[in-house]
A and B are shown apart, each in its own frame.
Chain A
Amino acid sequence: NAGVTQTPKFQVLKTGQSMTLQCAQDMNHEYMSWYRQDPGMGLRLIHYSVGAGITDQGEVPNGYNVSRSTTEDFPLRLLSAAPSQTSVYFCASRLGQFNEQFFGPGTRLTVL
């Protein structure tokens, strides 16, 4: 199993550009989540999904969109990038509510 994979590893955007961060898992996990990590802030939940076709907002959803058309993939879209979205983004997945959450390696995004 590859586990949770994220692409790209690094990305630089200009303000106003849009892009999609990719996340995939091959463990047949129902639950998937996106977090952002900023220095001194820990990890904050952006959006999550409890199965294909079902998504919900987390703590900091503004400026981000998600969709879950398959069990494997959970892309995160930045609609119009802003410098405040400069961060490290982590995707995570777990089998169910009470199971261990597995994290991807992260995407480091810089918005100029």
Chain B
Amino acid sequence: AQSVTQPDIHITVSEGASLELRCNYSYGATPYLFWYVQSPGQGLQLLLKYFSGDTLVQGIKGFEAEFKRSQSSFNLRKPSVHWSDAAEYFCAGAYSGAGSYQLTFGKGTKLSVIP
């Protein structure tokens, strides 16, 4: 069955440091992949998406993600973290074999930022 795995439940970084959040997928074919961010008490906001083409995807708020087929990964990166980036981050995938491309979410990675 298709799945999305986020190996890290909680990550703490210092403000100004670089960030990488991991995401691995398990699908029979190339999925469509997404990263969402959720601030406390809020809904989810789309950071970026990968459908096809260039494997390095740029998103909002200075985030980028790289699709690596050989590693079944879609890791999210940011070169310099700001305190306002503290939130929970969700990787999600959609698969063409799942009917109407419904999203499957990972369990999330909570990011804490130290001043």
Residues 9-58 of A contacting B (Cβ, < 8 Å): 31, 33, 35, 40-45, 48, 50, 56, 58
Asked if A101 meets B105 with Cβ closer than 8 Å, knowing A42-B90, A43-B90, A50-B100, the reply is no
Contact B43 A40 (CB under 8 A): no
Interface residues of B in 17-44 (CB under 8 A from A): 32, 34, 42-44
Asked if B105 and A43 sit within 8 Å, CB to CB, the answer is: yes
Give the interface residue-count category, chain B: 20 to 34
**Does A98 contact B43, Cβ atoms closer than 8 Å?**
no
User: Is A75 close to B, CB under 8 A?
Assistant: no
Please encode chain B, from 67 to 82, with 1 for each CB lying within 8 Å of some chain A CB and 0 for all others: 0000000000000000
Main secondary structure of the interface of B (DSSP, over half): loop
Contact status B100-A44, CB under 8 Å: no
Is A61 an interface residue, CB under 8 A from the partner?
Answer: no
B14 at the interface (CB under 8 A from A): no
Q: A interface, how many residues as a size bin?
A: 20 to 34
The answer on a CB contact under 8 Å between B43 and A42 is: no
- Given contacts A98-B51, A103-B44, A40 and B102 within 8 Å (CB-CB): no
Interchain CA distance A41-B45 in the complex, whole Å: 18
Query: Which A residue's beta carbon lies closest to that of B49?
Result: A100
- Asked whether A90 lies within 8 Å of B43 as measured between CB atoms, the reply is yes
Residue numbers in B under 8 Å from A84 (CB-CB): none
Name the CB-closest residue of A to B46.
Answer: A100
Q: Which residue of chain A has its CB nearest to the CB of B36?
A: A103
